[in-house]
Amino acid sequence: MKVLFVSANHHYYMVIDPVVRELYCRGHEVYLATDMREKRAFTDELLRKAQADMPNLVVRPLLKRRFLRGFARELREILNYSHVLNHEKTRLWDVALWKRFFKPWVWRIVSSPKARAKLKNRAFQHKLRALEQRIPVNAAIRREIKRINPDIVLMLPLINPDALENEYMRAAQSLGIPTIYAMSSWDNTSTKGTFHGFPDYSFVWNNSLADELVFQHGYPRERIYATGTPRFSHLFGGLEHEYILPRDEFYQKAGLDKDKPYVLYVGSTFLVDTERKKAHDEGIIIREIARALDRNKGTKDVNLMVRPHPFNFSYVPDLLDERYSNVIVFPQSEGVPDTEEKMKKYNSSIYYAKAVIGVNTTAFLEVAALDRPCITIYFDPFVETQKLPHFHHLEDAGFLETAHNPDEAAELVEKIIFGIDELAVKRREFARNFLTPVDSDKLSSEYFADLVEKLGSKK
């Protein structure tokens, strides 16, 4: 079988690497169409390693439409913004900040009160969609797919703004080739754009996200499969210990005192631009937590390890200059943990921590998988990120310890250090229900590959 994966940039490869390897090991021909341009905090190390390990993996440059390129992009972005406005109550942040995806003059038009009212009108939305559907299939992309002649085409992230994968989906469908939307992250269905034409099938992580795909995007439920998340397959099935460094080795790399416990603070992006990051200095909350730990008699000897988000490093130099005795920043510059070496350091930082503290971060998923207590802190001015529409998945599961100020966070750490972990059962249930396949005991990467084989055979 020939399988074609399509993604807008090579950094999404980390999402599908376990599936690509599984399909390759089963003897299938695997192709990847992607853009190899560098992106901040992402390297191409993982993809280069994959090419070295799998010599017959074919990587092709992502083709882009030229004819009607600007028109197609702006029209689809207007439809994305219209989708956001349909869910305005839960997406107030996006309603205000979607301008980052438009040219300034287009944003001035679509953000006006009259235009917003028009864009929320269902009849007008249908007219825009009918116009968008008349955009012709790109001939060059159609020829490329015809030349490869895949049995199935998988696309990710697909519903992001300016999703270049749309052109491949349209071309594949015009050739009668089955197409699959492959979810790349848990916030995709609630914080991004929408589909511009439905793929034949959709792979999401779990039933909650399947329901979200139906409710928010109108996608048919019978064509959705809950596969778990392949990118976290290494954290289940007894494999997790292969991705954790020995304790002494990790403590030495991180510069930790091996005689003192530590808690990990995991940074957030806050999904903002440079100016808003200046107003949302994450160093503020880290300093306050460090002071609270020092004030509390039960946590006075507990260190705070800080792992900044790769997209939000601006506060780190000042934090290092202040030389807090109980604060360690690790790593101080590394990027996304997308290679085996980086994953081992990242997983180890979670695994050896007594607890993990954060605001709203995907890291809580890995923390739950590695079975460590999670503490979310509701702390102005960062609480707005906990109002984003995907955060409810964590709140509803009930496995997060909650603190409303740094002193409460220190009290929770003290309780956990003394062996009181009241939410352990809910945490394990969340990891199982949210991150592993719904209808199979297999690893997510294996179940995902099974479905690709099944659906690809229908060509």
CATH code of residue 50: 3.40.50.2000
Q: 3-state SS string over the chain? A: CEEEEEECCHHHHHHHHHHHHHHHHCCCEEEEEECCCCECCECCHHHHHHHHHCCCCEEEECCCCCCCHHHHHHHHHHHHHHHHHHCCCCCHHHHHHHHHHCCHHHHHHHCCHHHHHHHCCHHHHHHHHHHHHCCCCCHHHHHHHHHHCCCEEEEECCCCCCCCHHHHHHHHHHCCCCEEEECCCCCHHHHCCCCCCCCCEEEECCHHHHHHHHHHHCCCHHHEEECCCHHHHHHCCCCHHHHCCCHHHHHHHHCCCCCCCEEEEECCCCCCCHHHHHHCCHHHHHHHHHHHHHHCCCCCCCEEEEECCCCCCCCHHHHHHHCCCCEEECCCCCCCCCCHHHHHHHHHHHHCCCCEEECCCCHHHHHHHCCCCEEEECCCCCHHHHHCCCCHHHHHHCCEEEECCHHHHHHHHHHHHCCCCCCHHHHHHHHHHHHCCCCCCCCHHHHHHHHHHHHHCCC
Q: Is residue 368 domain-shared with residue 312, that is, in the same domain?
A: yes
Q: Is residue 277 domain-shared with residue 168, that is, in the same domain?
A: no
Q: Is residue 192 domain-shared with residue 54, that is, in the same domain?
A: yes
Q: Is residue 250 domain-shared with residue 375, that is, in the same domain?
A: yes
Q: Is residue 33 domain-shared with residue 118, that is, in the same domain?
A: no
Quick one: pLDDT at residue 241? Answer: 84
Boundary residue ending a domain (133, 152, 180): 133
Lowest mean pLDDT among 78-92, 100-114, 276-290: 276-290
- Banded model confidence at residue 17, pLDDT cuts 50, 70, 90: very high
Share of the chain above pLDDT 70, in %: 96
Q: Which of these, 257, 261, 264, lies nearest to 367 by C-alpha position? A: 264
Angle between helices 122-133 and 69-86 (to 10 degrees): 150
CA–CA gap between residue 133 and residue 314 (Å, rounded): 43
Q: Is residue 208 domain-shared with residue 352, that is, in the same domain?
A: no
Write down the pTM of the prediction: 0.92
Residue reference for tokens 């790399």: 253
Q: Is residue 144 domain-shared with residue 128, that is, in the same domain?
A: no
> How many distinct structural domains can be found in the chain?
3
Question: Cα angle vertex 400, ends 395, 403, to 5°?
Answer: 105
Boundary residue ending a domain (81, 110, 133): 133
Q: Is residue 189 domain-shared with residue 320, that is, in the same domain?
A: no
Q: Is residue 49 domain-shared with residue 127, that is, in the same domain?
A: no
Quick one: pLDDT at residue 334? Answer: 65
Quick one: pLDDT at residue 283? Answer: 85
Which residue range(s) make up the domain with 98? Answer: 69-133
Q: Is residue 198 domain-shared with residue 165, that is, in the same domain?
A: yes
Is residue 272 scored above 80 in pLDDT? no
Q: Is residue 201 domain-shared with residue 329, that is, in the same domain?
A: no
The predicted-structure confidence for 61-89, as pLDDT tens digits, reads as follows 999 999 999 999 999 999 999 999 999 98
Is residue 273 scored above 50 in pLDDT? no
- Banded model confidence at residue 213, pLDDT cuts 50, 70, 90: very high
Q: Is residue 222 domain-shared with residue 343, that is, in the same domain?
A: no
The predicted-structure confidence for 117-165, as pLDDT tens digits, reads as follows 999 999 999 999 999 999 999 999 999 999 999 999 999 999 998 889 9
The predicted-structure confidence for 322-345, as pLDDT tens digits, reads as follows 888 999 999 887 678 888 889 999
